[in-house]
Amino acid sequence: MGRIRILQIVVVAVFAVLASRLFYIQVLDSRYKREARNNVLRHEVQYPPRGEVYDRNGEFLVRSRESYDLMVVPRDMKPFDTLLMSRVLGVTPEKIKRNIARATAYSRRRPSVVLPMLSKEEKSRLDECDFPGFYTVFRTVRSYPRKIGGNLLGSVGEVSPRVIERDSYYKSGDYIGESGVELAYEEALRGVKGVKVNVVDVHGITKGSYNDGEFDTVPVPGAAIVSTIDAELQAFGEELLAGKVGSIVAIEPSTGEILVMVSSPTYDPDELVGRERGNHYMELLGNPRRPMFNRAVMAKYPPGSTFKLVNGLIGMQEGVVRPETTYPCHNGYTVGRGVKCHSHASPLNLIDAVKTSCNAYFCYVFRNIIDNPKYGSVKRGFDVWNEYVRSFGFGRKLDSDFIGELNGNVPTSEFYDKRYNGRWNSLTTVSLSIGQGELGCTPLQMANLAAIVANRGYYYIPHVVRSVEGRDSLDMRFYRKHYTKVDTKYFEPVVEGMWRAVHRDGTARVAYVEGLDICGKTGTAQNPHGRDHSTFLSFAPRNNPRIAVSVYVEHGIWGATVAAPVASLIIEKYLTGEVSRPELVEQVKQLNLNYSYYDRQQK
């Protein structure tokens, strides 16, 4: 009798456990309810339109146009006519099968993209067919009315698994800004996704909205952005540099707003939109002239003779040279191995040394700075020089709003200690006096130097966005003045020299435009891979400047050969709205430069 009693108790206990578990599952635990509901409900992501981008005058640079992604839930898919779908969508049956296999491998229950970026017409044709388990999701894709600024504006592409792991906002199949403005302002441009809950039948066919849309959320469109770029000026700059390798950066000195940012060669940004995006991307990636490399913020060039301005300013601040100080030039600097120079009058004072771009003069100035007795050693003198140079924004990022901006390079005394085992002096590093040696600067940094001289000693951090919809202002760092270590009073002799270079038969005479008061400094940077590079710094007008420009053209020979004419044309068009020298425009366009270095890389 006792055994039967024990057995009864065990049976009752087992049924009690089962009953309590069933009660928990059916009443208390909502997980199974959700899973059951998911069998008849489909949560469709509602993608917001991406924010549009305007130029400073209200012209569209980037727009969003209607597009659709074809989605599939593999579990709901039934046998269908693959050939019919391929004809409707204009793709091969093999591609459809391959993409469906990939979606199935990812998840049978979750929706995946089969084919992105369908046009409105393709969607309409698809809607006329019955493909169970398939549906379309509204998206927007980018379009570029002007077809300019590929590197500047950037591109949008499918999000990578690494980003998905890092940021829970993104899911497989989402799009994200990959470069340029699209990447820098991704959070503002992307908007906020919504959700639409639909009822579907056992065949995966949508029957309508669940509960009259009670649980739907509306997507929030991305914010519109007004850039600092002048679209017409940007297009003109790209036209002038077509067929050449280099960069143009123009800045409004009084605000730090970037008016033009050309990196050449460039590409049509529409090429990185649509289903052929991958093919076009690989073509651009394989181009030896690297059109997707933004030289304006990433190239590291020797500044050449434009850097003489910095050494002259430091020399005056340090008291080792005055505007009236003269030095001889015997076709170059003759101490040590020497530094060659072109023929010109001698001796020269500082102002005329800037005007004629005398190498010897700035060799004297540089060595006076480094060998200044008050510092007690060459190393300490060099460290002081280095601090001055960095205050001009060289050797470090300018902290612009352009992701991908690089530091450039300004050598340190520690670098030379290591290279020469501590045995070096001012003559060892004299090439720095004329912007050569280990110096490396981005075109953005050189344009910032032009803005500093235009402002007589300070700059605003360069930036490419003027305003973001819904924000009262940009980051406060863009509104602060950043001063160099050189007093304002020392800039006027340098400005006078730059003005004479253009107006008094100096090295920049080609940049002269009547009535515009252009100030400029030519530069020729040595190039170990072929002909020298052509560079030019300028601003205008001389007083209350409205534009500062840096042009850098690889293999362009002299600063006056191509860089100075390009800068002059950019300034004239910006200040007057037109160009009075069409023959110069054609001359620049037709200039055939030798880029055999890049051609050799292709072989």
For residue 121, tell me if it sits in a domain. Answer: no
Co-location of 445 and 324 in the same domain: yes
User: Rounded mean pLDDT of the chain?
Assistant: 90
Residue 36 has pLDDT above 50, yes or no: no
For residue 17, tell me if it sits in a domain. Answer: no
Write the DSSP string, 234-254: HHHHHHHHTTS-EEEEEEETT
For residue 379, tell me if it sits in a domain. Answer: yes
Given 227, 244, 265, the domain boundary residue is 227
Structural domain range at position 423: 231-284+292-602
Integer Cα distance of 177 and 449 in angstroms: 30
Residue 29 has pLDDT above 60, yes or no: no
Residue 603 has pLDDT above 60, yes or no: no
What is the structure's pLDDT at 526? 85
Co-location of 353 and 208 in the same domain: no
Co-location of 260 and 355 in the same domain: yes
Identify the residue whose tokens are 């669940």.
210
Co-location of 151 and 238 in the same domain: no
What is the structure's pLDDT at 204? 58
Integer Cα distance of 69 and 67 in angstroms: 7
Helix, coil or strand: residue 143: strand
For residue 504, tell me if it sits in a domain. Answer: yes
The pLDDT-based confidence of 315 (bands split at 50, 70, 90) is very high
What is the structure's pLDDT at 373? 95
Task: State the virtual CA torsion across 569, 575, 581, 583 in degrees, nearest 10.
Answer: 30
What is the structure's pLDDT at 280? 85
Integer Cα distance of 301 and 435 in angstroms: 10
What is the structure's pLDDT at 242? 94
- Do the beta carbons of residue 574 and residue 233 sit within 8 Å? yes
Provide mean pLDDT across the span 320-349: 92
Beta strand spans in 265-399 (E): 332-333, 339-340
Co-location of 193 and 239 in the same domain: no
For residue 100, tell me if it sits in a domain. Answer: no
For residue 28, tell me if it sits in a domain. Answer: no
Integer Cα distance of 550 and 531 in angstroms: 20
- CATH code of the domain in which 158 resides: 3.90.1310.10
Integer Cα distance of 216 and 196 in angstroms: 5
* Distance from chain centroid for Cα 245: 17
Q: Enumerate residues 6+ apart whose C-beta is below 8 A from 546.
A: 252, 253, 254, 540, 574, 575
> Largest Cα–Cα distance of the chain, in whole Å?
129
- Do the beta carbons of residue 61 and residue 231 sit within 8 Å? yes
Q: Enumerate residues 6+ apart whose C-beta is below 8 A from 481.
A: 458, 459, 460
Task: Name 348's bridge partners.
Answer: 327
The CA-CA-CA angle for residues 10, 15, 17, to 5°, reads 95
Integer Cα distance of 303 and 445 in angstroms: 10
Beta strand spans in 201-355 (E): 206-209, 225-227, 246-252, 257-264, 332-333, 339-340
Please give the helix or strand (H or E) that residue 165 lies within, else none: helix 161-166
For residue 128, tell me if it sits in a domain. Answer: no
Given 227, 243, 266, the domain boundary residue is 227
Residue 21 has pLDDT above 60, yes or no: yes
What is the structure's pLDDT at 25? 57
Residue with the bigger pLDDT between 50 and 21: it is 50
Neighbours of 215 (CB within 10 A): 13
- CATH code of the domain in which 535 resides: 3.40.710.10
Co-location of 332 and 395 in the same domain: yes
End-to-end distance of the chain based on CA atoms, in angstroms?
A: 97
pTM reported for the whole predicted model: 0.87
What is the structure's pLDDT at 549? 98
Co-location of 153 and 205 in the same domain: yes
For residue 446, tell me if it sits in a domain. Answer: yes
What is the structure's pLDDT at 593? 83
Given 227, 251, 267, the domain boundary residue is 227
Number of structural domains (the chain) is 2
Residue 253: name the closest of 573, 540, 47 by CA: 540
Integer Cα distance of 586 and 314 in angstroms: 40
Provide mean pLDDT across the span 118-145: 89
What is the structure's pLDDT at 557? 87
Co-location of 571 and 440 in the same domain: yes
Helix, coil or strand: residue 408: coil
Burial class (CB in 10 A: 0-12, 13-18, 19+), 414: exposed
Burial class (CB in 10 A: 0-12, 13-18, 19+), 326: middle
What is the structure's pLDDT at 32? 46
What is the structure's pLDDT at 205? 60
Q: Enumerate residues 6+ apart whose C-beta is below 8 A from 143.
A: 62, 63, 64, 65, 270, 273
Co-location of 181 and 254 in the same domain: no
Co-location of 324 and 192 in the same domain: no
Co-location of 392 and 260 in the same domain: yes
pLDDT tens for each residue of 419-475 = 999 999 999 999 999 999 999 999 999 999 999 999 999 999 999 999 999 999 999
What is the structure's pLDDT at 364? 97
Co-location of 330 and 222 in the same domain: no
Integer Cα distance of 562 and 533 in angstroms: 10
Identify the residue whose tokens are 């065990």.
10
Residue 406: name the closest of 323, 299, 529 by CA: 299
Q: In this prediction, what percent of the chain has a pLDDT beyond 90? A: 67
Integer Cα distance of 180 and 178 in angstroms: 7
What is the structure's pLDDT at 263? 97
pLDDT tens for each residue of 375-395 = 999 999 999 999 999 999 999
Task: Report which residue type is found at 48.
Answer: P
